[in-house]
Chain A
Amino acid sequence: MTETPQAPVGPDEVDRPRIGVDEWVASAEQRHERAGGLSGWISRGWEGIPPAGKLLGFVALASTLPFWMNQGDLFSYGLFTLLYALLALGLNIVVGFAGLLDLGYVAFFGIGAYGYALLSSSHYGIHWQAEFSIPVVVLGTAFVGLLLGLTSRRLLGDYLAIVTLFFGQAFVAFVNNANPHVAGEGLTGGPNGIPGVDPLNFFGYELQSLKQYYFFVLIVFALAAAALYFLNESRTGRSWRALREDPLAAEAMSIPVNRLKILAFVFGAGTAGLTGCIFAAIQTGVVSGNFTVALLITLYAIIILGGLGSIAGVLIGAIVINVTFQFLSPANDVPELKRWLFYGAIILIVAKIRPWSKLAAIFGGTIAFGFVAHAVAQAINSSWTAGTVVDAGAGGSALEHWVILPKGHPAFDTWAYIILVAAIIVCSQVKGWWRVGALIPTLYWVAVVWENVLAEQPAVTALILFGALLIALMQARPQGLLGTARVEIV
């Protein structure tokens, strides 16, 4: 930086670090104390709870779930959230604590799942008890993590990301395509995977019901979170943070950088391997399609949403992402929930607009615009409004009088979607009352596209929204919900 010294300005007010940043960082506590209103009160209250209290509170809350949720919800909301959280905890060690960009993490999850499936299934007829197979698999996965971690000795930053990404892809190609014959049997079963994996079976006690699995995963998660908390507070954790902030300075301070990097990979891989074992047992089978880059992006979304390096953030990220995902999944048994969730989220985002006059103009304008557009479309040709909404439910059918729903115009979907993306881009680029003017038709168009295109394929929509969420989050709050803003001093 070759800028002349000037009055200290908070980095949130300018788009690049400036001289005086240290002072800004040093005064963070006072600004925090001053933060008023509800959000300040909540964040102070949150920080007042000791970590053990937070964990116990969560476990207490989570253990009530099986008593009021039905089986399907407990599986998709409860169990899967915990699995995502456990998996993201491992990624958080490598990326959040140590700052190493690992894009092959999902492969360790896969190695764990396939490892358990090979040792405890009828594929080769080996039926090890879980108390033997899980430790063996976790150690094996951690050892693979060690091997991949060795590459981090030589490779920095982006190059490490590249090699780990290829490792992940090579793993998928191996289990899916190569499937070498070992002992007269395809080792990984190709795209069909390995069916008939044993349930978890400890010392002759077999986990059978969903409830038992749920409590088992909850206990594992609580233990892992506690262990990682202590690890993060330990000497090792502090060195990881130093490594993350500045590897060169850390090395100069005689921190064993290489050993710590490998250690982070080993811990991350071990956690992923453990989750893989549990996942294979729950699914009673493994297929290669579970370990693709889509899962990797979901996991990154989880740890980044919650805030890199924060254990509570990982959990919150996992809850938000998984609940959204399950809401939008085709298997959701209350289909109109999707609609309420979607419109609710849109309204929440728009409701942040101030002053009130603008907000009122936008909402009123959008509603009026809808009726006018509907009337015009109907006047042109009634086929433009002849369609019906998917999963109408309560209130949904009222939308049919507001939203354009063409029938027999196959190209409409494509153009509607492209126009929507273009309109959102325009909205983000204009300012002031121009933005209000652009937002009104855009919001209406969001509803049109949702009813015509997105609601029909909610699973794909969820993935698209993930992508958009990642882009938006990076611009709005790159440190995530619970993360602390990092200042890069140049």
Chain B
Amino acid sequence: MHHLPLLDIFDTIRQLGWGGFFELLRNGIVLGSVYALIALGYTMVYGILKLLNFAHGDIYMVGAFLGYGVLSVLGGPLAPTVALVPLIILMFVGAMLGAGTLGVVVERFAYRPLRNAPRIAPLISALGVSFFLANSVLLLTQGQRYNYSAYQLGGDAETGLPGPLVEPAFSVLGRPVTVVQVLVVSTSIFLMVALTLLVSRTRLGKAMRATAFDREAANMMGINTDRVIASTFFIGSVLAGAAGVMFGLYIGETYYFMGFLAGLKAFTAAVVGGIGSIPGAMVGGLLIGLTESFAAGYVGGQWSDIVVFGILILFMLVRPNGLLGTRAIQKV
């Protein structure tokens, strides 16, 4: 290659054709639904505390490890002692509860004492938590990558035949959509619907919206805002834990540094959608997933991150409040 790969883009589009287009679309949607789940945690915390919770990506990473932990307690990926469906459910439940608890502890320990501190203090504290979590996992795993082996999961250990997770569920234009991809997207949709119902229909959801709107006023109306904030962290972290297991099953491996970049992308998603807006985070996650997938397919994998970040910087300059965000009025 003697010129910028950006110039090859039209050749690549022609070569890949509609089948290739569909594959990229499919990958983008799967990736996007993982990002969207993480982005929801970012956006909920920002909405309620105006805090950029940099530790959220690392909670997602811990969730992925917890899912792996459940898997290895139940016999490991190659010889699980329970059937596939309860195994996956247990992995999700374990990771979600563990991550949720971690989120509450982080809030209680690192953010709550700083509730009335200058704005920079919780932000630095969040960087500290992120650093602490990532390096703790590095210490305990010694930088090793743990493999979910989604390929073998539920398959025949003796013959080495692949398990049902990588079987095609259906195909479009001759390109397969595997069971694990369907699983990721449908779980993600289910959780997002559940979250939307929780926020719009329940008392807790109402309290969360009130706290996000005006914390002091909510406090005076008899809402225990500390508990509402803790619940927000719990719910956001539960979603991140689920996203961690999804990523583990889909990509196949977890490592200590995966939280940072995924967190950053999810954060991009939250910003593009309009930070603080729940539907915005879902749309944003999908957009970032699709952008990354198409950039990787048409421009080249090594450029995909730059394309994503470049788009974000331009986007922020044109529309800082995101697609679905509302323009904040600065109070004096």
Contact = CB atoms under 8 A, between A and B. Distances in A.
Contacts of A421: 136
Interface in B1-42: 1-5
Interface in A392-442: 413-414, 417, 421, 425, 428
Contact of B305 (A169, A184, A425): A169
Interface in A373-403: none
Given A162-B271, A170-B309, A460 B110 contact: no
B120 interface: yes
Interface string B310-322: 1011001100100
B132 A471 contact: yes
Contact of B132 (A159, A167, A179, A464): A464
B193 interface: no
A59 interface: no
Given A101-B120, A162-B267, A474-B121, A464 B136 contact: yes
Contacts, number: 143
B299 to A, nearest CB: 10
B118 interface: yes
Contacts of A367: none
Contact of B136 (A165, A417, A471, A478): A417
Contact of A165 (B139, B264, B305): B264
Contacts of B332: 248
A44 interface: no
Nearest to A486: B118
Interface residues of A, number: 59
A471 B320 contact: no
A156 B135 CA distance: 31
B97 interface: no
Given A16-B116, A166-B313, A467-B132, A181 B1 contact: yes
A136 interface: no
A57 to B, nearest CB: 30
A201 B99 CA distance: 54
Given A170-B305, A177-B303, A478 B130 contact: no
Interface in B95-127: 105, 109-110, 113-125, 127
Given A151-B317, A161-B52, A166-B312, A470 B124 contact: yes
B213 interface: no
Nearest to B46: A158
Interface size class of B (residues with CB under 8 A): 35 or more
A460 B135 contact: yes
Contact of B125 (A17, A463, A470): A470
B138 A460 contact: yes
A43 interface: no
B138 A151 contact: no
A178 interface: yes
Given A474-B122, A478-B118, A163 B313 contact: yes
Given A467-B128, A470-B127, A170 B110 contact: no
Nearest to B119: A157
Grouping DSSP codes into helix (H, G, I), strand (E, B) and loop, the A interface class, with mixed when no group exceeds half, is helix
B260 interface: yes
B159 interface: no
A40 interface: no
Contacts of B50: 158
Nearest to B302: A177
Given A154-B317, A474-B117, A478-B118, A181 B305 contact: no
Contacts of A177: 301-303, 305-306
Given A293-B260, A428-B109, A466 B131 contact: yes
Given A297-B127, A460-B138, A158 B52 contact: yes
B268 interface: yes
7 cross-chain pairs, A with B, having the tightest CB-CB distances, nearest first: A470-B128, A467-B132, A467-B131, A177-B302, A170-B309, A173-B305, A471-B128
Interface of B: 1-5, 50, 52, 105, 109-110, 113-125, 127-133, 135-136, 138-140, 142, 216, 260, 264, 267-268, 271, 301-303, 305-306, 309-310, 312-313, 316-317, 320, 330, 332
Given A163-B312, A417-B136, 17 more contacts: A165-B264, A166-B312, A169-B309, A177-B302, A180-B4, A180-B5, A413-B140, A425-B105, A457-B139, A467-B129, A467-B133, A470-B131, A471-B109, A471-B132, A474-B114, A474-B124, A474-B125
30 contacts: A17-B116, A101-B120, A155-B316, A155-B317, A155-B320, A158-B52, A162-B271, A166-B309, A167-B309, A173-B309, A174-B306, A178-B302, A180-B4, A180-B5, A297-B131, A414-B140, A417-B139, A463-B138, A466-B128, A466-B131, A467-B129, A468-B128, A469-B128, A470-B125, A470-B127, A471-B132, A474-B122, A474-B124, A478-B114, A478-B117
